[in-house]
Amino acid sequence: MGDSSCTVILPTYKEAGSIRRMAMRLRELYPDFFILIMDDNSRDGSKELIDGLNDPMVRFMERDPGDRGLSASIFQGIAEAETEFFINMDSDFQHPPEAVGPLYRCVLDGADLCVGIREDRTALSPVRWLASWSAHFMAAMTLWLRNKKKSSDIMSGFFGGRTELYQSIIRKYGGEMDRHGFKALFDLLKFGPFDVKICEAPFVFGKRSTGESKLNKTVILSVLRQCEPFGKTMARVAGRLK
C-alpha cells in the first residue's frame, strides 16, 4: 500500500490456532500497516506465538482482565491506534485478509467509515443467519429512530474508519456504549455523527479456519440491550435480561 497510515486491529480471545498465520498474512499483503492485537487474556500461547515473530510492526497487547469484552477490545484498540486510519477484523479468516485493501481504499478516498458487507453468508448456519438478520433489523430500527445513518450489514465486525473521529466519539460516549457487548460497529453508528460518510465494500464471508463460533444467546441479548427502548423490553419480557 506504500504508507504506514493504517492500523489493523485484531481483537482476540483463544485464537492461538489462527493468530500467527493471520498476522503473517497481513504483514505479507500490507507490509506498511501496523497490526495491533488486543487480547482478552487468552492464556493459550497466543502471546508467545506473536512474540516469536519478533516484528516491530506487530504489537500484542494483553488487556485488563477486569474489562473483558469484544467491544471493549475494539474500542481500546481504536484508542491505542496512532495512525490516520484503522481497520477492525476477526483473526479466524472469516474476514479474508485480502479484503482489507478495499476497505482501506474507501477511507483513503474520503469516507469516514467503511463497512465490510458479507456478500455470501452461506458460511452461516440457518440459525446464525436468522439471528444475524433479526439483530440487524432491530439495530436498523434503533438507528432510524435516532436519525443516524445505517449500513446494510450493521452486524458486521469488519470495518474501518478515521481514527481521530472515532477516538473522539469513544471519549465522549464511551460510558454509554456496551463495552461488554459484541457489536461495536452498532455503537459507533449509534453515537456517531448523523452526517457520517459511509462506504461499503463487499467480501465473501468465509468459514472459520480454527476454533468455535462465539455466537450464542448472550450475543443476541447483548444486541437487544443496545436497541433501546424496544430491545430492552423484549429481553425483559423473555425473562433473560440480567
Contacts of 227 (CB under 8 A, 6+ apart): 138, 139, 141, 142
- CA atoms 124, 126, 130, 131: torsion sign: negative
pLDDT band at residue 3 under the 50/70/90 scheme: low
Please tell me the pTM assigned to this model: 0.86
Grid coordinates 472515532 are at which residue? 166
Percent of the chain with pLDDT over 90: 67
- CA atoms 67, 143, 7, 103: torsion sign: positive
Q: Is residue 95 part of a domain?
A: yes
Between CA 203 and CA 94 the distance in angstroms is 10
Between CA 172 and CA 170 the distance in angstroms is 5
Q: Is residue 42 part of a domain?
A: yes
The type of residue at 44 is D
Q: Is residue 232 part of a domain?
A: yes
173, pLDDT greater than 70: yes
* Predicted confidence (pLDDT) per residue in 128-144, tens digit: 666 667 778 888 989 99
* Predicted confidence (pLDDT) per residue in 61-76, tens digit: 999 999 999 999 999 9
222, pLDDT greater than 70: no
User: What is the predicted pLDDT for the residue at 164?
Assistant: 98
The type of residue at 206 is G
pLDDT band at residue 177 under the 50/70/90 scheme: very high
- CA atoms 64, 31, 104, 123: torsion sign: negative
Q: Which domain holds residue 132?
A: 6-237
Q: Is residue 65 part of a domain?
A: yes
Grid coordinates 498476522 are at which residue? 23
Helix, strand or coil for residue 155? coil
User: How many domains are contained in the chain?
Assistant: 1
Q: Is residue 141 part of a domain?
A: yes
- Residue with the bigger pLDDT between 200 and 231: it is 200
183, pLDDT greater than 80: yes
User: What is the predicted pLDDT for the residue at 4?
Assistant: 73
Between CA 181 and CA 172 the distance in angstroms is 18
Residue 52, domain CATH = 3.90.550.10
Between CA 58 and CA 63 the distance in angstroms is 16
Q: Is residue 57 part of a domain?
A: yes
Q: Is residue 242 part of a domain?
A: no
Q: Is residue 122 part of a domain?
A: yes
Between CA 169 and CA 192 the distance in angstroms is 6
